[in-house]
Chain A
């Protein structure tokens, strides 16, 4: 049995904080059923959806496994080899095509795959609608503290996670920042009981008043600005909910345990960002935030489209190499190997958290993808897609599925939504529109 104690910090808060009182309540085994796979009330462990994204695409002939099928019928390609230990828990899907059209290099691909829309020309090249992570989170309406969490391994807040046009969700790129947000002030260990702090109620009343400001202002605005303020209001309501969660008993999940704090700072090494180190720190915090049911949907932006990051040993920035390196682009291949090593490490963080009879990874599905297929030509054919985790048994794993006829990549997204028990009538605009999933990857 997992030993749980009242966190000392929570007690101190109660003593020293004056108004803040935290009441400890140990988690009893009776809260979980005998197998530990579900809460005592019979509700199953939650399912999680995530995106792992890197910029600048792949080298399709070197990326795709040579044979297809399940189990031992196929082997990982050399670039994918770092994922070997996860092979039975992931599927490689190749030969799919993003069918929304290719108008803006590096943006059309993810816009089509993740949101089913085309890029708004000019300006900030916004996606034309919300991305699948946000759609799933919206549909789940999960009672988690955070609706979604966005993280990055390279410095910068930009993501391709959109709640709507011109409304992208900024990423946290500092592990310390992520830790403070998820596990700093406001996090309550399972069994520690609800936080009773009159300041939380005051903060909520402030948000209420601010929400009234939005309402008053909105009536005077045109349509475009009203939509913008609606986004602001959505954020205000979400923060109110976050505060409300703090006043409720935290979810009782056996796997939940606050991780250790990461380093304050991750300085460059030889003029190169320590991508691997940051990504792994992020993965550990993210995995535990899911295990603690702080959120059920996330996206991790390992690197961004058109990034010119310097990788160890590379003679030029990543984007420049994808265009300028001649021949089979061995340096680009090496960078992809680095990214896949970090995808594997990311999955390690999920697979090392025991949950019920399996692991956190088994109750998740992570879509790993990029912004183009072949970086040099900005192609959207044969799009790179790796799916990790069976999403509670809803998806087949250990599979290489190769589309024989450049199928619509939107089908993968439909399958992912279904796996999350989210019903979407169809996904994608124009040629990308479909209401079919990719049956080859769906279980049962």
Chain B
């Protein structure tokens, strides 16, 4: 009953949301409790490492890619980053990378001029070594260094300069020392107690905002706002967040989130049998991911339109490869261009994207279970427990009576050991059966016409486009993206008590007309993001 009521309520909300962002009158604004999310060290992801290095030293720097691998936990790399550590192998890789980066910086005149804030008089110039430690320390560790830390970086620089007889050779060791430090490799977020409330102090908050909105280290303006204390005020934080969301760099932040949320990182390692899928080639996965990321960018930043459009839109960005698979004229000779899919075609929105259809499938076939599980867990935020052990999982082979996948997985929905979970997955995934294991349209499977009909927990759909429409209209998808983005931004799976915080964030999201950039802002301003828990 409670669920039905909220569905009705939100249906009204959706109908009333106006473009100017006024909250609908029927639902009172939700106020987030003054409650912090979990607090802990977050290791830089490989992308954040690269972005940070390039931002500090310059775009010409070639950043080594052999780093401690990202590990997803609870489905997000952002959460893995707050629970995993650095392995012995990772220490080796970060060390090697630090010297490769430092050598490039000191070798190039322009990069060196940017990194070294003074003209050294010689290998023993302690003053210049101090200035270098102070300025690069602030950029790389995202906070001013203590006197002790400055001295440590200075001493490493001077010692190496003395041994090698050259200030800049010594500076390579100073830079490498900064890059190998846990103060660079981890985003340190500890919070500080002030007037009985534990919150993130300026610099910790700056890094939190920056890695969330831009997926990189704070720029000088944000560090300036941290330095003058503006960031810990409501107005100051809002001003910086608005500035950052208005910047093209916010696209990188949204892309990183969407990639993790939808599991698009694995598209680099798609395994498809090329004998069965003659359209498949290794560049398909990355191209398909680009299509999906461009859709989110357009909706969030170019048009600032209702996020739910991603489920129904006919407009998408394709390269010639994707265009050929969608059977539309290629908009450009190479690279991506926008096309309008046929209004009476089988494909619309996210669920028609090759990225998801190929990712959530087998190497040789589609998979109603993998696709259904994706929709259930990632789009509706439902739970699927792991399969029980000691059950026979064999599917019947295609035969005269069981030709389509729907017929073959029918046992999943009857057998009492299977059905509890599979009824939550397979019927959703079967709605996408008109797309094969790499996302090409097909009418038939093994000679039988595919029946893509189904329902989303009672909301009937006729085919893949209908499934997209049903998900668009389901308030759970909105709440789910709020929930995932909140987890992503805080780096933790929320505690039960944080649900009202997410409800409040979700309210702001809906009240804005489902604008993703407003959702990002709402999370930055939310107490869960700004208050700190006790160090874990």
Contacts and interface: CB of A to CB of B under 8 A. Distances in A.
Interface stretch (A110-118, A208-216, A431-439): A208-216
Interface in A238-285: 238-239, 242, 268, 270-271, 273
Given A123-B83, A310-B271, A377-B392, A177 B66 contact: yes
Nearest to B41: A225
Interface string A101-124: 011110010000000000000111
Given A122-B74, A123-B73, A326-B394, A225 B87 contact: no
Given A124-B73, A155-B269, A222-B536, A323 B393 contact: yes
A317 B89 contact: no
A232 B273 contact: no
B395 interface: yes
Contacts of A202: 159-160, 163-164, 173
Contacts of A155: 269
A362 B148 CA distance: 53
B69 interface: yes
B386 interface: yes
Contacts, number: 199
Contacts of B282: 268
Contacts of A225: 40-41, 535-536
A316 B156 contact: no
Interface stretch (B292-300, B325-333, B359-367, B475-483): B359-367
Interface residues of A, number: 77
Contacts of B90: 170, 235
A319 B56 CA distance: 44
A182 B331 CA distance: 49
A31 B183 CA distance: 47
Interface in B80-104: 80, 83-92, 95, 99
B275 interface: yes
Interface string B144-174: 0000110011011001100110000000010
Contact of B74 (A123, A217, A242, A320): A123
- Range for the number of chain B residues in contact with chain A: 35 or more
Interface in B491-536: 493, 534-536
Interface in A131-189: 147-148, 150, 155-158, 163, 166-170, 172, 177, 181
Contacts of A167: 84-85, 87
A270 B275 CA distance: 8
B182, B185, B275: most-surrounded residue (chain A CB, <10 A):
B182
A162 to B, nearest CB: 10
A210 B386 contact: no
A222 B534 contact: yes
A377 B273 contact: no
A415 interface: no
A438 to B, nearest CB: 25
B387 A220 contact: no
A341 B187 CA distance: 46
B307 interface: no
Nearest to A234: B88
A40 interface: no
A128 B273 CA distance: 37
B274 interface: yes
B445 to A, nearest CB: 15
B17 interface: no
Nearest to A226: B535
Contact of B391 (A147, A223, A235, A377): A377
Given A232-B85, A239-B91, A271-B280, A317 B190 contact: no
Contact of A212 (B152, B188, B280): B152
Q: B-side binding surface: helix, strand, loop or mixed?
A: loop
B437 to A, nearest CB: 10
A239 B88 contact: yes
Nearest to B174: A206
Interface string A297-325: 00000000000111000011100100111
A310 B273 contact: yes
Nearest to B39: A222
A271 B324 CA distance: 21
A213 B535 contact: no
Contacts of B181: 210, 213
A324 B409 CA distance: 11
Contacts of A216: 148-149
A199 B188 CA distance: 30
A411 interface: no
A304 to B, nearest CB: 12
A105 B71 contact: no
Interface string A195-210: 0001101110111011
A271 B272 contact: yes
B87 A169 contact: yes
B83 A221 contact: no
B441 to A, nearest CB: 22
A85 interface: no
A124 B250 CA distance: 29
B182 A213 contact: yes
Contacts of B221: none
A126 B91 CA distance: 21
Contact of A19 (B71, B164, B362, B534): B164
Contact of A217 (B148, B183, B392, B493): B183
A205, A209, A220, A326: most-surrounded residue (chain B CB, <10 A):
A209
B215 to A, nearest CB: 21
Nearest to B89: A170
B387 A105 contact: yes
B304 interface: no
Contact of B152 (A203, A209, A320): A209
A224 B389 contact: no
B87 A168 contact: yes
A202, A317, A378, A380: most-surrounded residue (chain B CB, <10 A):
A202
B87 A235 contact: yes
Contacts of A45: none
A325 B389 CA distance: 18
22 contacts: A105-B386, A108-B389, A124-B71, A124-B72, A170-B89, A177-B66, A199-B164, A203-B99, A206-B156, A206-B176, A207-B180, A209-B153, A209-B177, A221-B190, A222-B536, A223-B536, A224-B40, A228-B84, A270-B275, A308-B271, A323-B393, A326-B396
Given A172-B89, A210-B181, A377-B393, 12 more contacts: A124-B80, A150-B89, A166-B73, A166-B84, A169-B89, A201-B163, A228-B84, A236-B91, A310-B364, A317-B362, A378-B390, A380-B389
Please provide the 8 A-B residue pairs with the shortest distance between their CB atoms, ordered closest to farther: A235-B91, A222-B535, A231-B85, A271-B274, A124-B73, A323-B393, A235-B88, A228-B85
